[in-house]
Amino acid sequence: MFIVRKFLVRKHERALLYKNGDFVRFLLPGEHYVLDPLKRMTVEVFNIAVPLFEHRLADFFLKEYAADVARLFTVVETGADEVATVYENGRFAGVIGPERRALYFKGIVDVTAEIVNIGVAFEVAPRIAKALVADVGKNRLRIDANAVYVREVPDAHVGVLYVNGKLVRELEAGLHVFWKVNRGIAVNIFDKRVQTLEVSGQEILTKDKVGLRINLTANYQFENVLTAVQAAKDPLDFLYKEIQFGLRAAVGTRTLDALLEDKVAIDRVVFDHVHGKFAELGIRVRGIGVKDIILPGDMKDILGKVVEAEKVAQANVIRRREETNATRSLLNTAKVMENNPTALRLKELEALEKVTEKIGTLSVYGGLDGVLNELVRIKR
């Protein structure tokens, strides 16, 4: 008995026909009648609205059924230093990595591809960089996320691009995406705004062998980042050490008294030590200032006693000066009263007033005249 089986392939579908698991042929849209008395025929159906064809037999089809593949699929193939950006109906859809091959169904979705030689141009074009980064995060691309290097340079910053350890160029603020395949890529970010460098806890001996601990602040700004990174492996570490050297030169050549009398001397010496040197390296040192000068405990006690003695001496001088002024004032008053009876009488009445202020009860003998003339009399 003959048994004919019907397989229906819809307009948005393509199918693969197998017999006992072996591929027979491709099936296009329509009704297909196959003689299959033993029911050994099977069909694998694909929706071509999803154009990417991922199949275990893809390489077999390319080799043995090249004509059918050319008719039914768009083939995208890349070399060792190439990637392909794929577009579906004109919209960016994904990336194919180096030495890869991909098949896309022809039909509903118009698939095109652009081959990029990443051996020469390893920076991703800006028009697809944002889409590429977004899709990597969503795992939508047919490429390992490690195949791209993504770095965003913030505003008021610059990036320095290294490829295989070699400095290539400076990057402006914005999103930068690079093909990382077959190469090592790194980007170091530098802030071009004014920044602060703290140099703390520097223990240094003065010229008279007094140990000080000094905290210092430096304000700096990168003006030419490429010059700085080419001149020094770590520009900020270099600046930190040079400030230390300048600080030792400023403190070690002065006595403690000299430093306390002229605290800004340290600022001037350290600034002069680093300013010109780092201007040539593309770093502008805008200012240096000492925050704290910390004395040892015993020296702090000694200085405290010195300051106390100085203040006591100043107080004694002021007190003697005031006593002298008071004595001189009394002498002048006495001379006035000696030659002026009226002034003398006013002084007597003033003394009487002061005496009576502190008396609760006053007994008067001799009448008012006795109070005014006999109770207080400076001169007879």
- Going by pLDDT thresholds of 50, 70 and 90, the confidence category of residue 376 is low
**pLDDT higher than 70, residue 206:** yes
User: Which pTM was predicted?
Assistant: 0.64
- Going by pLDDT thresholds of 50, 70 and 90, the confidence category of residue 217 is very high
> Which residue type occupies 206?
T
Condensed to tens digits (0 to 9), the pLDDT of residues 125-147 reads 887 777 777 665 555 555 556 67
**pLDDT higher than 70, residue 51:** yes
Condensed to tens digits (0 to 9), the pLDDT of residues 141-178 reads 555 566 788 889 999 999 999 999 899 999 999 989 89
Mean pLDDT across the stretch 343-367?
A: 66
**Could you give the dihedral angle defined by the CA atoms of residues 171, 173, 177 and 181, in that order, rounded to the nearest 10 degrees?**
30
How far is Cα 137 from Cα 147, in angstroms, rounded to an integer? Answer: 13
Residue 14 has a pLDDT of 95
- Going by pLDDT thresholds of 50, 70 and 90, the confidence category of residue 240 is very high
Residue 101 per-residue DSSP state? E
Comparing 340 with 328, the larger pLDDT belongs to: 328
- Going by pLDDT thresholds of 50, 70 and 90, the confidence category of residue 367 is low
Residue 140 has a pLDDT of 52
Condensed to tens digits (0 to 9), the pLDDT of residues 11-37 reads 999 999 999 999 999 999 999 999 888
- Going by pLDDT thresholds of 50, 70 and 90, the confidence category of residue 322 is confident
Comparing 203 with 330, the larger pLDDT belongs to: 203
Residue (of 172, 74, 173, 79) closest to 117 by Cα position: 79
Which helix (H) or strand (E) is 349 found in, with range? Answer: helix 341-357
| Mean pLDDT across the chain | 84
- As to burial, measured by CB atoms within 10 angstroms (0-12 exposed, 13-18 middle, 19+ buried), residue 272 is middle
Angle at CA 336, nearest 5°, toward 333 and 341? 120
Mean pLDDT across the stretch 71-98?
A: 89
**Domains of the chain, start order:** 1-47 (no CATH), 51-190 (no CATH), 195-295 (3.30.479.30), 340-380 (no CATH)
Give the Cβ contact number of residue 282 at 10 Å. Answer: 19
- Angstrom CA distances, 268 to 49, 120, 246, 265, stand at 74, 51, 10, 5
Is residue 283 a contact partner of residue 223, using CB atoms and an 8 Å limit? yes
Coil, helix or strand for 82?
strand
Residue 258 has a pLDDT of 84
Is residue 54 a contact partner of residue 100, using CB atoms and an 8 Å limit? no
How far is Cα 373 from Cα 380, in angstroms, rounded to an integer? Answer: 11
Residue (of 40, 69, 51) closest to 13 by Cα position: 51
Angle at CA 90, nearest 5°, toward 89 and 95? 100
**pLDDT higher than 70, residue 309:** no
**pLDDT higher than 60, residue 300:** no
- Going by pLDDT thresholds of 50, 70 and 90, the confidence category of residue 198 is very high
Residue 355 has a pLDDT of 67
Task: Quote the percentage of the chain above a pLDDT of 70.
Answer: 81
Residue (of 71, 62, 64, 55) closest to 16 by Cα position: 55
Token pair recorded at residue 313:
């001496």
